[in-house]
Amino acid sequence: MSVRRRILFVCSPHRPADALPSELRSNSEVVEVHHPLRAIARLMREKFDGVYVAAEHFNEAVRLGRLLENDRILEGMPDAVALLDADSTILWANERLRSWSHRGNIVGESFFQALSNPEVVGSELTPFTSAVRLNRATTSTLKTSDGRYLHLHAAPVTDPKENTRHLVVTARDVTVETQQQQKLHAIQDAGRELADLKPDEIFDMPIEQRVDLLKANILHCTKDLLKFDVVEIRLIDEKNNQLVPLLEMGMDPEAANRILYADKERNGVTGFVAATGKSYLCEDTASDPMYLQGVKDAKSSLTVPLKLHNEVIGTFNVESPQPGAFSDSDLQFLEIFCRDLAVSLNTLQLLAAQRANACQESVEAIHSEVALPIDEILSDAIFVTERTEGLPPEMQARLQTILRNARDIKRVIQNVGRKMAPADAVPAAQHTQQRPKLVGRRVLVVDAEQAVRSSAHALLERYGCVVETAQRGAEAEMLYQHSLRDGRYDVVLTGTKLPDMSGYDLMMRLKRMVDPVPLILMSEFGWDAGHTLVKARQAGLHTRGNIMKPFILPQLLDTVEVIIEWSLLPIEAPAQA
C-alpha cells in the first residue's frame, strides 16, 4: 500500500475544488490554506511533500515564494521576528525568538506565553491591541523573568482582498543599554545626594564632621553602586600643587601616604591626570611605565580628574586585581560621578567658607567697636604714668598691668577670630595676600577723624600690624616717648592737620627722640595752606612718606612697608642741645 503524499494547497476560499486537479486530490492528503502567510505557518509546524498553487493563482505563488525567501533571511537576523494574527497568536517566528522561548516550535502559541509572560515596562501597556485597533505601529519594552529587556515594535499588515489583519513584530535585546541607563540615572541621583545635608544636621557640625559625612556617602556610592573595592581620592593644594589625600579604601599604606604633585613627570598616573585634566585607563599595570603601585597585585587602574568649572581640583583613582577590568562604560560612569562629586566638594567648601566669613565678620565687628576705646584707655594710662612722679611701686605696677591688659584685649579678639574661622576653611582665592614685612609691626595712627582711625585698624591689622591711635599730636608725642621703653613704633601715620598742631609740628617733636622719623603724612585733596608737606620733606621726610585720604589699600600697604624698611636702618641719636 502506497503512502499518501501531503500537499499544501494555496487557493481561494471561493473555488478550492476547481483549482486542484482530480488526480492529485484523489492520491494525496490535501491541506487547504487561503493565504500565503498561513501557508508559511503550516510549513513551519508540519511536514509537506509539496506546495500546489493553481495557474490562475500565480500571484499567490509569487508572494509565497518571496515569503519563503524572506524567511531564510529573517532566520539569520539578530533581532527576534514573528508574524502574529489579530489575536496575538504566533503564525511564524524566526530562530532568535524560538531560542528566547527555550523551546522549539512556538507556532500557534500566544506571543506573550511563548516568552513566559514578560512584564510590560514601556509606556504602551497593550502594544498588540493598540496596533490592531489604531492600525498603526506601536512600541513598548518588555522585561522577561530572567532579567532581559526587549524593545518591541508591532506593525499591522492588512490584506483588503482577504479581509485579514496580521502583525509583524520585532523584538530587540536592549538589556545592556537599559541597565547602563539605569546605572547612569542611579549614579546621577547618588551624585546629587552626596552633599545633600539638611540644615538641622549640619548647623552645629564642625568642618571635620561634615567632611567625614561626605566621605561616608562617597564610599557608599563607590562600593555599592560603582562596585569599586579599591579607591583613592586626592585634592590639589593650590598653595604648592600637592595632591593631598582626601580618602582611600583598600590602598596600601605606603601608596596612600605617598607624596604626589599635579605634574606629568615622576608623579604616576595620578599626577599626570591632575596636570592634564585627562582621564587615564591603565589596562595592564605591568607594562605601563607611568603606573605607581597603589595596591599589591593590582593589574589595571582607572583615574579620572575631579573638575569644577573646567578646572582640575583633584583626582579619583580605582584599581583592580584583574587586567583590563575597566571598560569605556566604567570610564563614562566614573566621569559623570566625579562631576557631581566635584560640585559636592565645592559645596562643602563653600559652607565652611561661609561659616568662616561669618565668624570673621563678627570678630571684625567686635574689634572695630572696642579698638578705639582701648586706644583711649592706653592714652590715658600712659598720660597718668608720664605725668605722675613718685608713685609707689605698687601703683606703677598696676598702671603697667592696665597697659598690658588693654593691648591684650585686641590680641585676644583676633586670636579667637582665627580659631573660629581657620584659614583652611576659606578657599585659596579668598585668602588675604600675605605681607610678611607687616606682621608684628607697631603702627601709630594720629588723626582727628574717627573714620580714619577705624579704617587704619581694620586694614593694617588684617595684615598682622599692631595698631594704636591718637586724636591729638600731644597724645601721639606721649605715646611715642613711652614706646621707646617697651617697643618703639615702627611707623607713625599722621594727618597734616591735627586739633592741636600740624603734621609737620608733630614730626619735629618726634625728631627730638629719633632721627630720621619713620613718619607718613596723610594728606587730603585741596590746598595745603601751611605747606606741611613741603616743610616736612625739607626736614627729612622720606620721599615716599605721603599718602592720600581716604586710603587706597595697595598704596597704604606699600608705603608702610617702605617706611618700615627705612626705619630698620641704624638710627642716629639726636644731638644734645
CATH number at residue 123: 3.30.450.20
Give CA–CA dist 93/105, Å, rounded: 9
Mean pLDDT, the chain, as a whole number? 80
Regarding whether 447 and 348 lie in a shared domain, the answer is no
Inside any domain, residue 309: yes
N- to C-terminal Cα separation, the chain:
158
Regarding whether 337 and 206 lie in a shared domain, the answer is yes
Regarding whether 342 and 201 lie in a shared domain, the answer is yes
- Residue 428 has what pLDDT? 43
Inside any domain, residue 375: no
State the Cα angle at 494 between 489 and 496, rounded to 5°.
155
With 0.75 as the threshold, say if the pTM is over it: no
pLDDT band at 62; cut points 50, 70, 90 = low
Q: Among 140, 173, 206, where does a domain finish?
A: 173
Tens of pLDDT, residue by residue over 397-437, are 777 777 777 777 767 666 655 555 444 444 444 445 788 99
- Residue 19 has what pLDDT? 66
Instruction: Give how many domains the chain has, as a whole number.
Output: 4
Regarding whether 253 and 134 lie in a shared domain, the answer is no
* Residue 49 DSSP label: S
Regarding whether 242 and 124 lie in a shared domain, the answer is no
* C-alpha neighbours within 13 Å on the C-beta side of residue 257: 3
The grid coordinates listed for 251 are 590602598
Beta bridge partners of 110: 89
The larger pLDDT score, comparing residue 153 to residue 24, is at 153
Inside any domain, residue 424: no
Q: How far is CA 99 from the centre of its chain?
A: 46
Regarding whether 551 and 475 lie in a shared domain, the answer is yes
Inside any domain, residue 420: no
Residue type, position 439, single letter = V
Q: Among 353, 380, 407, where does a domain finish?
A: 353
Regarding whether 150 and 224 lie in a shared domain, the answer is no
Regarding whether 225 and 161 lie in a shared domain, the answer is no
Share of the chain above pLDDT 90, in %: 31
Inside any domain, residue 365: no
Inside any domain, residue 427: no
Inside any domain, residue 405: no
Range with the poorest average pLDDT among 90-104, 204-218, 251-265, 422-436: 422-436
Regarding whether 69 and 8 lie in a shared domain, the answer is yes
Q: Among 173, 193, 219, where does a domain finish?
A: 173
Task: Give me the CATH number covering residue 277.
Answer: 3.30.450.40
> Which residues constitute the domain of residue 239?
181-353
pLDDT band at 457; cut points 50, 70, 90 = confident
Question: In which element (H, E) is residue 300 found?
Answer: strand 300-308
Regarding whether 340 and 272 lie in a shared domain, the answer is yes
Inside any domain, residue 406: no
Give the orientation angle of helix 553-567 with respect to helix 450-461, to 10 degrees: 70
Count of Cβ atoms closer than 10 Å to residue 145 Cβ: 10
Regarding whether 228 and 289 lie in a shared domain, the answer is yes
Q: For residue 511, is pLDDT > 90?
A: yes
Tens of pLDDT, residue by residue over 150-198, are 999 999 887 666 566 788 899 999 888 887 777 767 666 666 665 555 5
Question: In which element (H, E) is residue 173 found?
Answer: strand 164-173
Regarding whether 339 and 196 lie in a shared domain, the answer is yes
